[in-house]
Amino acid sequence: MSEVLVAGLLWLGTHLGISSTPLRGVLVSAIGQRGYLALYSLLAFASLGYLIWVYTEVPRFDYLWLPDPALYWPAKLALPVALVLMVGGFMVRNPTMVGVTVSEAQARELATGVTRITRHPFQWAVVLWAVTHMMANGDWVSLIFFGSFAVLSFAGTFLMDAKKNRLADPGWLAYASVTSNVPCAAIVSGRNTLVVRELWLPTVVGLILYALLYYFHEAFTGAVIV
């Protein structure tokens, strides 16, 4: 268990310890923006690869709760939603993405599709995936593994917003005013409206992807879905 804990902390530290701290500015000043992005990407992929490798190699004997087919249902129900959010997030131009900027005039126009639900669709998709897989497994190794993704993605949504807000870019502030981090908060508050017809394509693609992942889940992970 200690090995996966170290790997999880490295994964979190690579992200939260660099991109969300003054170290980022120091590195950008030293090696430039492109150099920083290259170094950051290398460290992120290396730490992710190490975390996944450790998870596949470490035995899982210690359980906080035993696996129960009833606890598989949250994942079965949440994953289609997560995949729709994930797929939809890549289908729209989102100012939370690296290198994407937005003007005040474009703000409401870009708040479309799944970004009406949340301006961080990919991160919330990962949170849904990670938390429901923690529930489905119950062993400490899996809790640490999936918990690392849940913590990073959940914290990342707030840290990204804080970083953008500090820059006080008028386009971003306008975009943030018509979207929300917390899913559906902008819709509930009346700052945005859910438009169902904008969701048909990500829904179709997301459900197809879910069907494929469900069918091949045992082949890729070794875990049987009951």
Give the domain ranges of the chain.
Answer: 1-58, 62-221
- Reported pTM: 0.91
Average pLDDT of adjacent 10-residue blocks, the chain of 226 residues: 88 81 77 82 91 91 89 94 96 80 79 94 97 94 96 93 86 91 96 95 96 83 64
CA–CA dist 139, 145 (Å, integer): 10
Please tell me what DSSP assigns to residue 139: B
Per the structure block, which two tokens stand in for 62? Answer: 């210690």
pLDDT of residue 90: 92
CA–CA dist 153, 35 (Å, integer): 24
* Spatial contact of 179 and 192, defined as CB atoms under 8 Å apart: yes
